[in-house]
Amino acid sequence: MQYDRKIVITTGVSRKASTWKAQALLWSELVTKLASPVRGTETLKHYLQLPKAKQDELKDVGGFVGGTFNGEKRKADKVTGRDLITLDMDSIPAEQTNTVLQRISSLNCGYCVYSTRKHEPARPRLRGVFPLDRSCTPDEYEPIARKLAELIGIDLCDPTTFQASRLMYWPSASSDSQYVYAWEDKPFLSVDGMLALYGDWHDIAQWPDVPNAPQLRKKLAAKQGDPTEKAGIVGAFCRIYDIYAAMDKFLPGVYTETAQSDRYTYAGGSTTGGAVIYDDGKFLYSNHATDPAGGKLCNAFDLVRLHKFSDTDAEAKEGTPTVKLPSYAAMCELAASDNAVTTLLTKERRGKAAAEFSMPLPETAAQTAADTNVDDNWESKLVVTSTGLLQKTIDNVLIILENDPLLKNKFAFDDFSNRVLIKDAVPWDLRQKQRDWSDNDDAGIRHYLERAYGITGINKITDACTLCFRRHSFNAVQDWLRSLPPWDSIPRLDTIFIDYLGAADTPYTRAVARKSFTAAVARAMIPGVKYDTMPILSGPQGIGKSTLLKIMAGNWFNDSLDSFDGKEACEMIQGSWIIELGELNGLSKSESGQVKQFLSKADDIYREPYGRRTGRYPRRCVFFGTSNEKEYLKDSTGGRRFWPIDCMAKAPTKSVFTELELEAPQIWAEAYVRWQVGEKLYLEGAAAAAALVEQESHREANAKEGIVREFIERKIPADWSKRSISERKVYWSNEFGRKDDKNLIERTRVCALEIWVECFGGDVKYMKKSDARELNDILSRMEGWKRAEKTQWFSGYGAQRGYEKA
């Protein structure tokens, strides 16, 4: 061969090869190698019927690029030079193979042409290989290739064949197909001569193009779909940034403007105007050979991805889907770090969820007018994953609860009731009224966060809700007391029982009224303050005892407490301010003891339902008893905890049913003032003494009490302590002794067993502890008698702890 020189090509065992090796050889050696195709076993007809993927597999017998790369990867931006121009001519008219060969021959330059695997006379497909007289740069390659194609017929060429990194398969053919092979030994194609055919080869606008190439790119854009309509972080990025905005923010200086608004120049190359904008900035196609985005139709997301992160794909296998490339993951992280992108994603998810929940988002202007603390950029505070999804963190949920227009300011925690309140409509419950948080709301908030924000996880949502609710704590009763009109200085508090229930006007009645309602204020303002007494209003049915308490307590009244034991009782009093214990006369002695114990507590310790640990809950309530009977105190030992008030001692001067509601705010205002000035919450002096009298008068009488009193008041013989039990019984049976006995003395001591045997005729062996307790209880209430400090010897009864005459 006359015209021959050493060239360098880069070869790979297949199109998917991860490593490409540079190989130096003579032009003549390459021409010889292209003379013999690899023959398949299938016929051409069978080959053409195969799926495209199978055809690609059969024709992939390895290939070459007519130049060199920086490294062993076949990447567009890694081309360092070209020794060959290669053209794919896939659009040759039927039976025009020879015509094309004649055109090529007429160029008077060396070449080698061979047919592709699909070639047949009716649908010719040829590859042209043209040696250059010197190695050209990547920027020089495409204008040379395009000009050469124009001389042959650029309409015959594949629109992508001009890429400097373009692969050419080694020749292969089906078993019966025609293999076209032609070459001529002529001068090499002149690089400088081809470039001189342009006015300015750097100006890409002067480059010839395949006639339908722009239309093909528009079709490709249509096939890709509108990037602004894509879901997820890619779509959000493209909605925020079109090509122009993406270049300005993320690729400053990478592209420079030209005189045409839709054309830019890749600053890293030597050609101009090769980056073309399509669809008003939705896509860019770069014809610059050294542009990392060259030869690809890119949306804004992919344009930035290729420029910033394409190097990370160096080790990726050929054919790896874009979404699995390292560059894609890196670009997602970049997009996810952009506040504008993540904010848009969050707003769109929230808007979609609001529509699904049939709850309109509030207008920004109206919302701002109603809430001066609106943070328009709150979404930017949310932490996202590399794919733009919100991280499932407590902090994210908390930010949403505090800022989402459909949730913001909708929740509060009432310290007084220890309950969460929903103050207005929420996406899962459109009722526009205040109500307690329920199990349905637990499910509703989780459903909304999942639909609107993609956040799941019961524990984290629950923790965030707890923090949010506590941030919005208030005390309903404290707020109500502080909001009352100032007391007008007209006394009403002391006489509330007198005026409305007809109680006797005594210092004791006034003190009980004043201290009991002041105690209610104290318990509301200082939970757990010491107060362990309970007024008891007794009187006929229908006079308004319960009504008075209900009106005074307002929304915080409770008359449903029917147990004083266990966690249930503690839970029942939460959220109550005044608790009525009705019909105390119906309580058994043991139940009366439970009431006393319950009243004595300043706080309750228990674990709430679903709670992880026990909590201490200071009492915020006070108790009032009511009874229709006069005798309701079962046990004298606990009488001090009760302040009896007899109603209807006289006619009331005011009506509970029509007047109290109007006066109640001023009564409470007065009680609030009493608390502020330090009103004591217990009785003292004359009032305390009166309380003892009242307690005794309302104690349930024991039928044996009178018998015991009469028995111990009888005089006994002087030698009584020396007499046996039988002698004493004989004495009592003789009509209580002789009336003329001059030796009778006052009894100075007695014990329960003595009364059991001698008064009631009981047997020592059959006296139970309950009998002893009952008799000792009677003796303890006997006026003029006291419990002996030590045990004493009683004839016939042994050592006993008895009672002595005071």
* CA separation for the pair 688, 623 (Å, rounded): 19
For residue 383, the Cα-to-chain-centroid distance in whole angstroms is 13
Q: Give CA separation, 23 vs 12, 71, 765, in Å.
A: 10, 13, 123
- Structure confidence at residue 608 (pLDDT): 75
Instruction: Report strand pairing: 534-538 vs 168-169.
Output: unpaired
Beta strands in 120-215 (DSSP E): 126-136, 168-169, 172-173, 181-184
Structure tokens that stand for 296 in this block: 């690809």
Asked whether the beta carbons of 348 and 236 are under 8 A apart, the reply is yes
pLDDT band at 367, cuts 50/70/90? very low
CA nearest 73: which of 258, 417, 314?
A: 314
According to CATH, the topology of domain 496-697 is Rossmann fold (3.40.50)
- Structure confidence at residue 261 (pLDDT): 87
Residue with tokens 């542009």: 291
Phi, psi of 219 (to 5 degrees): -65, -40
- Structure confidence at residue 739 (pLDDT): 54
- pLDDT, one tens digit per residue, over 87-100 is 999 999 999 999 99
pLDDT reading at 238 higher than 90:
yes
* CA separation for the pair 621, 520 (Å, rounded): 6
pLDDT band at 28, cuts 50/70/90? very high
pTM for the whole structure: 0.64
Across the chain, what does the average pLDDT equal? 90
pLDDT reading at 42 higher than 90:
yes
- pLDDT, one tens digit per residue, over 60-70 is 999 999 999 99
Average pLDDT over residues 306-335: 90
pLDDT reading at 352 higher than 60:
yes
Q: Where are the CATH 3.40.50 domain residues in the chain?
A: 496-697
The CA radius of gyration of the chain, in Å to the nearest whole number, is 51
- pLDDT, one tens digit per residue, over 113-139 is 999 999 999 999 999 999 999 999 999
* CA separation for the pair 159, 90 (Å, rounded): 10
Average pLDDT over residues 389-398: 93
- Structure confidence at residue 370 (pLDDT): 46
Average pLDDT over residues 664-681: 98
